[in-house]
Amino acid sequence: MFLQAIESPLLNLVAVSEQIVPSRPAWQGRYLATGYWFFDETTFQPSESLRAFVAEGEAPLVVTFGSMTGLEARVGALLASIIDGVQRSGRRAILQAPAAVLGSMTVPASLHVTEYVPHDWLFPRAWAVVHHGGAGTTAAAARAGVPQIIAWVLGDQPEWGQIMHRHRVTPKPLALRDLDAATLAARIAAIDEPMRERARSLGARIATEDGVERACALLAERLLP
């Protein structure tokens, strides 16, 4: 009943790229993939410290779990594992997290902590993105053309992890509860140049799409007299 209530007999738009999820025969024209609906924040200006960190060496990892780090019971251990894992990998990283969650934790110079930064600015400057597998974050990283490391929490996130793994632009996804320093370092080490090239190719194809324009055109075609 719930699915019937949210389904239209006229038009059902799926805001996903067919580069990621190809149309399926079962959709039979009732569901149309438009491409992603991105909202780019083109006027964003980063802080001087963030700009300098990005510019000072090889592209950094970006680690962002959005609201998923609201798992208060684990957030301290999670951050410690992330910092340790990044250091073991020998890479620099940007960690998106509220400053308050760090408390008195010591952050090495190879890791820059920042609060909100739009994905459309940050992800294209990343070497890879470590995230929870949310639909929007997955889409933004895919368009940016960078590999992903997905440590899912709940809901549809495991499926997005599997989808991106099938595209071979991410190492095998895992549950966030299983993420520790050694596992993160191993996932980072699994990102090789062929994976990076596949991610670049996928991102280039997604970048040619305009999901919002396609959605508007379909609405006009189907619904306007």
Percentage above 90 pLDDT, the chain: 64
Residue 77's pLDDT is 79
Percentage above 70 pLDDT, the chain: 91
Greater model confidence, 3 or 223: 223
Residue 3 in this model has a pLDDT that exceeds 50 = no
The confidence band for 90, taking pLDDT boundaries of 50, 70 and 90, is very high
Q: What is the mean pLDDT of residues 118-143?
A: 96
Residue 223 in this model has a pLDDT that exceeds 90 = no
Greater model confidence, 36 or 108: 36
pLDDT in tens, 4-34: 557 777 788 999 999 999 888 877 777 888 9
23-27, 82-86, 124-128, range with the lowest pLDDT? 23-27
What separation in angstroms does the CA of 124 have from each of 5, 29, 129, 160?
A: 38, 34, 10, 20
Mean pLDDT, rounded, of the chain: 88
pLDDT in tens, 156-205: 999 999 999 999 999 999 999 899 999 999 999 999 999 999 999 999 99
Class for domain 48-207, per CATH? alpha beta
Q: What is the mean pLDDT of residues 62-83?
A: 73
Residue 183's pLDDT is 96
Q: Are 222 and 32 in contact (CB under 8 A)?
A: no
CATH 3.40.50.2000 positions along the chain are: 48-207
Q: What is the mean pLDDT of residues 47-62?
A: 93
The confidence band for 1, taking pLDDT boundaries of 50, 70 and 90, is very low
Residue 154's pLDDT is 87
